[in-house]
Amino acid sequence: MPESKINESGDSPFFEIGAIEIGTADINAALDIKRSMIDYSKPIIVEGFPQHDAWGKQGGNSIVAQMLGTYKEDQPYAELWFGTHVNGNASAIQGDIEIPLVAAIETSARDLLGERVCSKYGAQLPFLFKVLSVGEALSIQAHPTKEQAERLRAENPKLYKDDNHKPEVAIPITPLTLLYGFRSKKEIIRELTVTPEFSVLVGKEALDKFSLAEDGQESELALKALYKDLMQRPLTPDGATRLTAACESLINRLTLKGGNTDHERLVLQLADKYPTDIGLFAAYFMNLTTVEPGKALFIEPGIPHAYLHGDLIEVMANSDNVVRAGLTPKECDVNTLIDIVDCRMGACTLRNPTPNDGTAFVSFDIPVEEFDLALMSGAHSKEVLKTNGEMVFLFSLNGIGKVVSGTETYSLVPGKAIIIPAKISEVEISLNEGTLYKVVVP
């Protein structure tokens, strides 16, 4: 195969293939030709965009790598994105034609998305579908509301690259362990009492106010002040010195003692990579839980969380807005997280799938405008799916079966998606085994 390279002279970019130079104008012209060849009366195959964050599982241990088929054993494979976000645009394939999914939508948005969806969201997929394979802890983070996202984008466009909110639902493929939301008041006070290192990181006044606060809003406000006291401490030189000393003391004490609670074992595990991170202490404030396959977790704006280990499907509004505050080498924005954090306390609420009358799909009741999620699983499931003039997104996790549209049949391929354009009135789905996810815009 001839070698391709990018012009290094600083002039207009071009690709050189053998003795032939292909300029930007030629590339755009070639893309325009491919765009015009897409037939929106037929299904479109979608291949995901891989992300290689360090927290992903390595090589063939990652379900993302397995879905890609080809991978390097020494590289992490963290996520597979199916959407049109600028940070990871999927590919649209029809026959021998392959173009960016965003280009396929922009070419004929109404034919693909449908009139109502296109009128509301423009020429873009309003949701982002992901597969995640988590080998190490992600950052402690929270997501902004739509109003907050618009403000953050205007104030810091380098860090916040879009102005959309990011409500999302997580559906485990394997058991998913994570930190999510704040523990009960009783549990937080107990941890602060039996962990002596907290005494150099949180002020006695803030702790006393939290301990004495009435349940409800007063306790939430007092918790926010206490959490702020903890998280902002390392932002000053004196606070950073205190944090280093507190982390060293905590790690040494738990190592000698032997961590005998779930949170203590987690702290020792996290300390291997983040030995002087405020996240070691923030973890004590949060629920440590494992969500089993078959359940779903709706991650609301402002709720602090961090995935720790497992494989999952995520569906969210089309956004990559993340406010980080610990357990990451990436840029943190502690002050913003404190500003947007939701200080409700108590165990996280899981959601069960609900059967849909007259259909083989079950759905999760997620209060989001951008997407509605359902799934079909098991052997010998069939469905005549009517589009009602709007796009349907289908993703085969491990599903074996087919989609019949008119006279043509499309095999379900694990790790790939099929978009049924709005121009198609109905398709027939047959699932022999595995799980098929369906996403539509409600």
The pLDDT of residue 2: 33
Q: Residue 357: pLDDT band by 50, 70, 90 thresholds? A: confident
- Domains of the chain, residue spans: 176-351, 378-440
The pLDDT of residue 25: 60
Q: Residue 36: pLDDT band by 50, 70, 90 thresholds? A: low
69-87 pLDDT tens trace: 999 999 999 999 999 998 8
Q: What is the mean pLDDT of residues 180-199?
A: 96
Q: What is the mean pLDDT of residues 152-180?
A: 94
The CATH architecture one would assign to domain 378-440 is Sandwich (2.60)
- Fold identical between 176-351 and 378-440? no
Does residue 200 surpass a pLDDT of 70? Answer: yes
265-291 pLDDT tens trace: 999 999 999 999 999 999 999 999 999
* 324 classed as catalytic: yes
The pLDDT of residue 73: 95
The pLDDT of residue 37: 76
The CATH architecture one would assign to domain 176-351 is Orthogonal Bundle (1.10)
319-336 pLDDT tens trace: 989 999 999 999 999 999
The pLDDT of residue 271: 96
% of the chain residues with pLDDT over 90? 79
Does residue 10 surpass a pLDDT of 50? Answer: no
What is the SS3 string spanning the chain? Answer: CCCEEECCCCCCCEEEECCEEEEHHHHHHHHHHHHHHCCCCCCEEEECEEECCCCEEEHHHCHHHHHHCCCCCCCEECEEEECEECCEECEEEECCEEEEHHHHHHHCHHHHHCHHHHHHHCCCCCEEEEEEEECCCCCEEECCCHHHHHHHHHHCCCCCCCCCCCCEEEEECCCEEEEEEECCHHHHHHHHHHCHHHHHCCCHHHHHHHHHCCCCHHHHHHHHHHHHHHHHHHHCHHHHHHHHHHHHHHHHHHHHHCCCCHHHHHHHHHHCCCCCCCHHHHHHHEEEEEECCCCEEEECCCCCEEEEEEEEEEEEECCCCCEEEECCCCCCCHHHHHHHCCCCECCCCEECCEECCCCCCEECCCCCCCCEEEEEECCCEEEEEECCCCCEEEEECCCEEEEEECCEEEECCCCCEEEECCCCCEEEEEEEECEEEEEECC
**Least reliable range by pLDDT among 8-17, 160-169, 337-346:** 8-17
The pLDDT of residue 14: 37
Q: Which of 233, 324, 344, 351 is catalytic?
A: 324
The chain-wide mean pLDDT, for the chain, equals 90
